[in-house]
Structure 1
């Protein structure tokens, strides 16, 4: 159980009911972090707008992979569950996720993926442990624009996972059984 109970649909005003409807349509269930954030509607709306804008600007298999790794490293079971579900519905090979802890030596990951995952690990350390060599190498491999996007996405997942961890928000079963709650479009 979370440290702060989310706002129930029956207690939600018109705006929150609309947000809950949209979330249920998109994900098959209302994400619990959203219901907790609903106690502060302005923060919820700001966060939602930000997430939608980032989704349009930054996406792709490599970005999803580093987000997943960051969630694993921080121990955010909600983020791991939700991320795996999104990756599955994005057509990505989620079997590789079982080997994410062995990314550095596993042939399941490309050289670029291994370097990006190591970068995600370094960014997620406290204090941050990113080296000049990592930035230089990734910039050469990806280009500056993509490196900026990768860095932003890892930082954003750090924010999400730490928010969820602070409120003890656990996985919601998005990938349990045959569920994968996101409706296929």
Structure 2
């Protein structure tokens, strides 16, 4: 249960209720961060618009690379909700969620290719406290993905850090969207 309760759907207002109903149809349940954010309607709508833009904008990286890096950031931050929801999104996108169980071994596991290893290592470096990103690492990522891809990857990892830390602070935990959420949290530290 979150530290502050979700706003009940009947108190959400007409347009927000439409969003919550759409989310329930798309995901099988209303994502709790949505319902908690409704305590501040302006933040709710700003987040909704931003999330739609963030879903639309990425086009440079292969989806599997971006989503693995985002998933890794969620596990390192320790956001069980993000891990749960992220695994479901990867499954719905047809990505191999079974290998998420082996993400701690990404550096040597043959399930991960070079591009994925670079992206996951970057997620680790960006999420570490303090950050451990190096010039050499950024140069290697730029050589692999180009500047456009590097910016996209950096943005996706940073966004997941923000989401994961916000959910963790508000006590929002997994909702059971996907069985792959059994992955150990706090990895890579």
TM-score by length of 2: 0.90
Residue 69 of structure 1, CA deviation = 0.5
Q: Which runs of 4+ in 1 moved over 3 A?
A: none
Residue 34 of structure 1, CA deviation = 0.6
Match of 2:88 in 1: 85
Q: Of 147, 152, 176, which residue of structure 1 is paired with 2:150?
A: 147
Residue 58 of structure 1, CA deviation = 1.5
Partners of 1:119 and 1:13 in 2: how far apart? 41
Residue 40 of structure 1, CA deviation = 0.5
Unaligned 5+ runs, structure 1: 178-185
Unaligned 5+ runs, structure 2: 181-189
TM-score by length of 1: 0.92
Partners of 1:4 and 1:32 in 2: how far apart? 11
Residue 26 of structure 1, CA deviation = 2.0
Match of 1:129 in 2: 132
Match of 2:43 in 1: 43
After superposition, what is the alpha-carbon deviation per residue over 1:83-141, rounded to whole angstroms, capped at 9, x for unaligned?
00000010001111000011111111001111110000000012211000010000001
1:1-185 correspondence to structure 2 within 5 Å: 1-58=1-58, 60-176=63-179
Partners of 1:112 and 1:18 in 2: how far apart? 39
Partners of 2:25 and 2:52 in 1: how far apart? 15
Partners of 2:7 and 2:150 in 1: how far apart? 37
- SS of aligned partner of 2:140: helix
After superposition, what is the alpha-carbon deviation per residue over 1:64-91, rounded to whole angstroms, capped at 9, x for unaligned?
1111111111111100000000000100
Larger deviation: 99-108 or 12-21? 12-21
After superposition, what is the alpha-carbon deviation per residue over 1:12-45, rounded to whole angstroms, capped at 9, x for unaligned?
2212212211211221211001111010011111
Residue 176 of structure 1, CA deviation = 4.1
Partners of 1:110 and 1:176 in 2: how far apart? 24
